[in-house]
Chains A and B, each alone.
Chain A
């Protein structure tokens, strides 16, 4: 963990999460891993700030969550896009 880090604006983190789960449902840790890669060295997503964000997105209906058995035979909470947020994401990616 570096001390020098750039706080991500909330919208950016939301978009990063959305893009991560766009392809398939993922659990929290699986979302956090590629986030480190996408953002590379420029920004660092603190793992701890991921969960409040996930829960907020779930509360507002952008993500839906379900509990499922993961590859190592453990229960994990999987997040995926809702239909509404998928459309929104496509629109915003185009706008980028």
Chain B
């Protein structure tokens, strides 16, 4: 085996040397043979002749010897490639157009694949991430997404004690801290983690150690682990950091370790309430007291577990279900109904964006197919003009398979060049894509052209070459020799090839139509969404302030915020200012069980509950529809009052005057609150979801709140002023998330903008490629039929006739493609339904627009060849004939 391989390699790379040796060996043989005859008395001439006869055809022997080297196919192939390169370089314009077309398709595919690679394929930076699972305890009494139910602390520790499916379990929470750096306080994203966090993820610190069980004891928790970026930016990556202590929320924490750059878990906020945390910059211990550990109602912590080797997820799910059935009985009877849900880590991390990734790959592959169609058409047109050459080669004995291989070598060369240029395009596309990064697609920013992406591109280029090369190669190799010879070597019928070209155009148009319809629907959705009234003013500036994590009395927190608001409202230019605990579009939420007097209340009936100061609605420009807003009196312990939004009034207070109605929240025996006002709806979680029922109560206690201010000052100027105001009150506090509400709305639409932009870009590329395709086919067909057209004109056809004949030829194909494409779009746009907003997947306006656009594009593409045909000079044609 080995000797065979080395022999073949030698034959390939030492080709000339082997030829020389063969020559020498055969020469030696001939001379010895001739010697033999000379010794027997023959003349030198005669001896040489007889030696050559004896060996039997020297050239044949050489050829046979070459064939035994086992490199014939490869050598033929190399020869084919050389020939292809020569022949392509002789028609540079064809080559450039074909390569660019393919590069566009391959480049777009490569760019999208590099995103898919980063988001879905590349392994997560945790060892054996496939064995990591999230644990949830959904309660059937509350109509909320399963993943909003984290286990309560007591349930978590009981699960850890009773289950056997997991080798390790960890509980962690997300929050933010004010971090006092040299000159100003900044806010850092943090995770409070128990002692098993790093071991469950099997993550090792870069220097120092992680957080262990001893740190997670109350009283021992003043240690922290830094992330790599913060260590680098704030401490210059110095190892001295391990001897330092840092102030978080005014408390001192000793640095015990630094995590490596690739570790940033928990990264993209997996749930409500911690809207401020996008990256985890520090990890601190989650030190729960015995009382907290035994709390069966409260649980802010995410539960992550590592499956034991060999334990399938279904088994863990079954075991957890059994355990939770027992634990459910320990819950407050009013709350019972808890079950278990085990969710693979990867599904939670990337599950929500998986469909989008497939959508993008699907759409971009359409673009590639269209590019292939164009390349195939170009090859066909070129082959037709080479019929003469190919026929000559066929008559000289080139076999059909040899000609096919020859043509494939050409398409392979084109495909690979397209791939090479495509990689350059991919870099450009990817650069643009990353600028569109909506920020909520995990690890999108890590997308890069890596080895896997390059391999993908090479495979794609090979596949593409075959795809666009095989049909033309087959069609061309079917040279009709009899026709060729009969025609005296002048013209050969190319009828079948034209059918193939038309078929390709119809297919391309159909693909273009599907893409246009998809992009059109997404664009319509985007426009609809842009015109949605979110219920608040775009120019309102919002910012988040979080008090230090000290157990200060609630009144003190309220007093702090009221004091700050007072000072901010005194800033010149500020028209209105207010505070709220959970701001719209801040990805924070507070759902509370409630009961309405005189309404058939359901079990587990939840409402979005908000704490607001009197000025909040004015600051947000949210209209008051009935009654009044809160007053100072309401704030300082007057009668219990509430304000509801329109949706609440419609759902729960319909048919009555909402003002004066009563409701209670949190506990079924809580005191009644009287509704004093109805305000306009505000969209909360996203702009796409209609507003949910909301209840507002006077701002009473909180350690974190958003300030909203409407002013005539520019946003950053206002922020600076508020910051200096805050520093005068408490220099340790940081302001975070300074955004206008318009910025938040823009950010909330980022993913929709991302997918809409991409799909629109694909549709535009596809349309242009399709246009080029139609143009190419018609231009070629007009050129081929020049003399026929000349004859028609000579026989009396008017220019108009000729013009409409060519136009009609293009339109016929376009109509057929349009028909097929519309049918395809009707079937395919259904998969878009979940991406659409306010339009149906069968939106007639979109489909009509696609129809009109395609018609326009076709006519434009046909016009140049049609006019060229109409301007054919019959005299010149006939003379040429």
- Closest Cβ of chain A to B70, distance in Å, is 7
Query: B61 to A75, Cβ gap below 8 A?
Result: no
Q: B55: CB under 8 A from chain A? A: yes
Q: How far is the CB of A21 from chain B (nearest CB, A)?
A: 15
> A28: which B residues are within 8 A, CB to CB?
25, 28-29
> Which A residues, 7 to 51, have Cβ-Cβ distances below 8 Å to chain B?
27-29, 32, 46-49, 51
CB closest residue in chain B, given A63? B3
A43 to chain B, nearest CB (A): 15
Across the interface, A51 reaches (CB within 8 A) one of B3, B31, B64, B69, namely B64
Contact of A47 among B2, B4, B28, B54 (CB under 8 A): B54
Interface residues of A in 48-63 (CB under 8 A from B): 48-49, 51-52, 55-56, 58-61
Which chain B residues lie closer than 8 Å to A67 at the CB level? 21
A1, B29: Cβ atoms closer than 8 Å:
no
B57 touches A52 (CB 8 A): no
Known: A1-B53, A28-B25, A29-B32. A55 touches B3 (CB 8 A): no
A1:B54 contact, CB within 8 angstroms: yes
Taking a contact as CB atoms under 8 Å apart, the answer to whether B29 and A29 are in contact is yes
Judge whether A48 and B64 touch: CB under 8 Å: yes
Asked whether any CB of chain B lies closer than 8 Å to the CB of A89, the reply is no
- Assess the B26–A51 pair: CB atoms within 8 A: yes
Q: Are B64 and A49 in contact (CB under 8 A)?
A: yes
**Interface residue? A86 (CB, 8 A):** no
Give residues of chain B (1-21) contacting chain A, Cβ–Cβ below 8 Å: 1-4, 7-8, 21
CB contact under 8 A between A56 and B68, given known A1-B56, A48-B56, A48-B61: yes
Q: Would you give the shortest CB distance from A86 to chain B, in whole angstroms?
A: 15
| Residue of B1, B21, B22, B28 with highest tally of chain A CB at under 10 A | B28
Bound-state CA distance A32–B36 (Å) is 13
Q: How far is the CB of B33 from chain A (nearest CB, A)?
A: 6
Which single member of B28, B33, B58, B67 contacts A52 (CB below 8 Å)?
B67
Q: CB-nearest residue of chain A relative to B53? A: A1
B56 nearest in chain A by CB position: A48
A74 touches B64 (CB 8 A): no
Q: Chain B nearest CB: distance from A87 CB in Å?
A: 16
Contact (A61, B3) CB under 8 Å given A29-B28, A32-B29, A47-B29 = yes
Partner of A77, one of B25, B32, B67: B25
Q: Closest CB of chain A to B50's CB: distance in Å?
A: 9
B144: A residues at CB distance < 8 A? none
Q: Which of B63-94 contact A (CB under 8 A)?
A: 64-65, 67-70
Q: Report chain B residues within 8 Å CB of A74.
A: 28, 31
Known contacts being A77-B21, A77-B25, is A29 close to B33, with CB within 8 Å? yes
A59 and B65 form a contact (CB under 8 A) = no
The CA-CA distance from A40 to B68 in the complex, in Å, is 27
Chain A residues 80-95 with CB under 8 Å of chain B are none
- Expressed in whole angstroms, the minimum distance between the Cβ of A68 and any Cβ of chain B is 12
* Chain B residue, CB-CB nearest to A70: B28
Q: Which residue of chain B lies nearest to A76 when distances are taken between CB atoms in the complex?
A: B28
Q: Which residues does chain A contribute within 8 Å of B29, judged by CB atoms?
A: 27-29, 32, 47, 51
Instruction: For A56, list chain B residues within 8 Å (CB).
Output: 68
Q: CB-CB < 8 A to B61: which residues of A?
A: 48-49, 51-52
CB–CB A60/B65 < 8 A: no
A12 to chain B, nearest CB (A): 17
Closest to A59 in B: B7
Question: Inter-chain contact count A-B, CB under 8 Å?
Answer: 71
B60 in the interface, Cβ–Cβ < 8 Å? yes
Q: Chain A residues with Cβ under 8 A from B68's Cβ?
A: 52, 55-56, 59
Contact with A along B821-846 (1 / 0, CB 8 A): 00000000000000000000000000
- Chain A residues within an 8 Å CB radius of B22: 51
Given contacts A59-B3, A59-B4, A60-B4, contact A48 B57 (CB under 8 A): yes
Residue of B nearest to A47 (CB): B55
Complex Cα spacing A49 to B33, Å: 15
Structural contact, B28 and A77, CB atoms closer than 8 A: yes
Q: B15-54 toward A: CB 8 Å interface, digit per residue (1/0)?
A: 0000001101110110111000000000000000000011
Chain B neighbourhood of A32, CB < 8 A: 29
Q: Considering residues B24, B29, B55, which has the most beta carbons from chain A within 10 angstroms of its beta carbon?
A: B29
Q: Nearest Cβ distance between residue A60 and chain B, in whole angstroms? A: 6
Measured between beta carbons, the chain B residues less than 8 angstroms from A59 are: 3-4, 7-8, 68-70
Check A47 against B33 for contact (C-beta < 8 Å). Answer: yes
Q: How far is the CA of A3 from the CA of B4 in the complex (A)?
A: 35
User: What residues of chain A lie closer than 8 Å to B4, measured between beta carbons?
Assistant: 59-61
Q: How far is the CB of B626 from chain A (nearest CB, A)?
A: 96
Quote the shortest CB–CB distance from A44 to chain B (angstroms).
11
B26 to chain A, nearest CB (A): 7
Closest to B8 in A: A59
* Cβ B56 vs Cβ A46 within 8 A: yes
State in angstroms the CA–CA spacing of A27 and B33 once bound together. Answer: 13
Inside 8 A of B56's CB, which chain A residues have their CB?
A: 1, 46-49
In the complex, given contacts A27-B25, A27-B28, A46-B56, what are 17 additional A-B residue pairs having Cβ atoms less than 8 angstroms apart?
A29-B29, A47-B29, A47-B33, A47-B54, A47-B55, A47-B56, A48-B64, A51-B29, A51-B61, A52-B64, A52-B67, A58-B7, A59-B3, A59-B69, A75-B24, A75-B28, A77-B25
Pairs across A and B, CB under 8 Å, 29 listed:
A1-B54, A1-B56, A27-B25, A28-B28, A29-B28, A29-B29, A29-B32, A32-B29, A46-B56, A47-B33, A47-B55, A48-B55, A49-B64, A51-B29, A51-B61, A51-B65, A52-B67, A52-B68, A55-B65, A56-B68, A59-B8, A60-B3, A60-B4, A61-B2, A61-B3, A61-B4, A75-B28, A77-B24, A77-B25
9 interchain residue pairs of minimum CB distance: A61-B3, A48-B56, A52-B64, A29-B32, A48-B61, A59-B7, A56-B68, A55-B68, A29-B29
